[in-house]
Amino acid sequence: MSKIYMNRELSWLKFNERVLEEAENQEVPLCERLTFASIYQSNLDEFFMVRVGSLYDQTLLDKKICENKTGMTSQEQIDAILKQTKLINKRKEAVYEELMARVAEQGIRILRFNELDEDGARYLEGYFKSEIAPLISPTVIGRRQPFPFLKNKEIYAVAVLGAKGKKDRLGIIPCTSNIFGRLIAVPGMPGTYMLAEELILHFAPVVFKGYKIKSKSLLRITRNADIDADALYDEDLDYREFMAGLIKQRKKLAPIRLELSRDMDKKGIAVLCEYLELDENHVFMSSTPLDLSFVFQIQDLLRKNPELYFPKRTPQKSDQFQDGKSIIAQIKEEDKLLSYPYESIRPFLHLLTEAAEDPDVISIKMTLYRVAKQSKVVEALIEAAENGKEVVVLVELRARFDEENNIEWSRRLEDAGCQVIYGLDGYKVHSKLCLITRKNAGQVEYITQIGTGNYNEKTSRLYTDLSLMTSNVEIGLEASNVFQALSKGEVVEHTRHLLIAPKCLQNKVLDMLDEEIAHARNGEEAYAGFKLNSLTDKKIIDKLIEASESGVKIDMIIRGICCLIPGVEGKTENIRIISIVGRFLEHSRIYIFGSKERRKYYIASADFMTRNTVRRVEVAAPVYNDKLKTKLQEMFDVMLSDNQKARKLEADGNYHRVSNDLTPVNAQEYFYAEAYHEIP
């Protein structure tokens, strides 16, 4: 029988492969292809830090842990990841070479020292001696010079050093500096640059004068970043200070990957692995630069040529709002649904600033997971507190890699007089929920906003997300219950309208799928549709399989991880799954249940991942307005018809580009054309 489950980690690698395909895509403008190549690498860095780091931790346990869908052990998963990553990286190296050839056609060249002319070489030799050599701190490893601490994701030059009558030693030079730039221009050779680490590596013989350089390379290590805040927290500690200390601790965790830019001698690699306590399977050779972030500097150099970029698009004013009229009044008239990045986040920002100044507003309560470094959202909350409103903000300090930003904002919110909550024991608060409470003519009113993405003005221009604003009293009351529970360190146990994890989202999704199964078994039309980032929750997956077996038609748009294989005869043949990877990061979540005459719609912060459904506080909101239901259905249908950026997941577990003779549809471009009123 064909398999119906896919391993989570291997599915993620397939997603990142789809990102790399956009770097390979000749129809994508050159500078955007550079972006996709860099995203591929940064995605992979985080994957190794978090996911491979977690698997590595599991291998250290006495108890063997097996993944619950495919039965793979932690070590088997690591081995499969290493093997597959090395295969995909060969494609990354090929596409990088092709992209650099295209960049050279635009007059920009990144050279190594031996490719310079005589004047360029002379200049860079002088530059190294005057600007770099005084600032670097080389180390020769020996009895009195221990192996230095190598920082996560920073680049070092390493050399195997030989000396007469002595054992070979390792020399290491840090190559990352805030003082000298990474991309060094070569005077007299217009458009010619050299990477600082390549220049340092070239002059390793000068740095280690008196030694013979037997082999040399650039290296970069990736450290485990999977650290459990809840397991380590002591209640006697200030939580904010504890999280600040945890960030420092994370920087010192064990290495889980070593990347080299040159094929060093085997002994040198073995010595490095011994010092780093790494198996040689975790060593990756790369002919490309070890950090591709410099491509954004190349983009800046080519900024004057618009043909090398996607056509400029800016979020548009939503037709749902009228200028010069109260945002609150307009939401009271009719529910609103914004679609980012096609529509602007401004109406929501105006809602917050209006609430901060409205004398009828009693309180503003909000959950914050990731916010911009210069956040207008937080500024509005601070203004509200300074105006005497009750402002309650749950700031999730455990939002991975955003902890420092959230710690700083929490301080500012507290200083302004806001009540700040730092999450719950055992549960991350990932919901996107804002509740504005007013008292008007003696009546309590609620304006509730529920989103699929973070309250972040920057990402609202880059990620596709949805933002529902409603004056529905019952939704407002349930949102109020959420904040009351959070303030007491509790979770909501029962709801009628909102779906709220961890206690009443997964079970309600399963119940609604059971309803569709019952309709299908009665010979009636039954349907479910979902747009998600990831699908890993085995309970939901097994219910989807049962639904398919019962005759329920299921459409799924899943951008990233998908542990369910569709199209398997007798099992998942009624399930269709596509993934859209394009200009914008698909991030919105939509749940649809029922045939057309009884269809229910939700937007949500939660993917169908176990971490979202049972280990986080998440909110899914029903959409009751008929116009907004139609809008959601039309969006879903357009995405299902995408034949430009969509890939279909087939029964063999592989993704293939959707290819047909129908009118070309790029869903993201369609939605922007709609926002620009370019579609009749």
Write the CA distances from 335 to 200, 291, 331, 627, integer angstroms.
60, 46, 5, 9
Check if 430 is active-site.
Answer: yes
**SS3 sequence of 542-611:** HHHHHHHHHCCEEEEEECCCECECCCCCCCCCCEEEEEECCCCEECCEEEEECCHHHCEEEEECCCECHH
Catalytic residue (one of 202, 282, 430, 519): 430
**559: annotated binding-site residue?**
yes
Beta pairing class for 499-501 and 585-586: unpaired
Q: Give me 604's structure tokens.
A: 């949500």
**533: annotated binding-site residue?**
no
**33: annotated binding-site residue?**
no
Give CA–CA dist 451/590, Å, rounded.
Answer: 11
Q: In angstroms, how far is the first alpha carbon of the chain from the final one? A: 49
**SS3 sequence of 88-111:** HHHHHHHHHHHHHHHHHHCCCEEC
For residues 566 and 552, the answer to whether their CB atoms sit within 8 Å is: no
**400: annotated binding-site residue?**
yes
Contacts for 499 with CB less than 8 Å, ≥ 6 apart: 505, 508, 509, 602, 604, 606, 619, 620, 621
Give CA–CA dist 595/147, Å, rounded.
Answer: 65
Helices (H) and strands (E) in the chain, counts: 21, 27
Report long-range pairs for 107-112 (Cβ below 8 Å, ≥24 apart). Answer: 107/190, 107/191, 108/191, 108/193, 108/298, 108/301, 108/302, 109/191, 109/192, 109/193, 110/183, 110/193, 110/194, 110/195, 110/298, 111/186, 111/192, 111/193, 111/194, 112/194, 112/198, 112/202
For residues 580 and 639, the answer to whether their CB atoms sit within 8 Å is: yes
Give CA–CA dist 623/4, Å, rounded.
Answer: 32
Full DSSP string of 601-657: EEEES--BSHHHHTSEEEEEEE---HHHHHHHHHHHHHHHT--SSEEEEPTTS-EEE
**89: annotated binding-site residue?**
no
Give CA–CA dist 297/328, Å, rounded.
Answer: 43
| Residue ranges of the binding site | 43, 370, 400, 463, 559, 587
| Residue ranges of the binding site for ATP | 43, 463, 559, 587
* Residues annotated as catalytic (active site), given as ranges: 430
| Residue ranges of the binding site for Mg(2+) | 370, 400
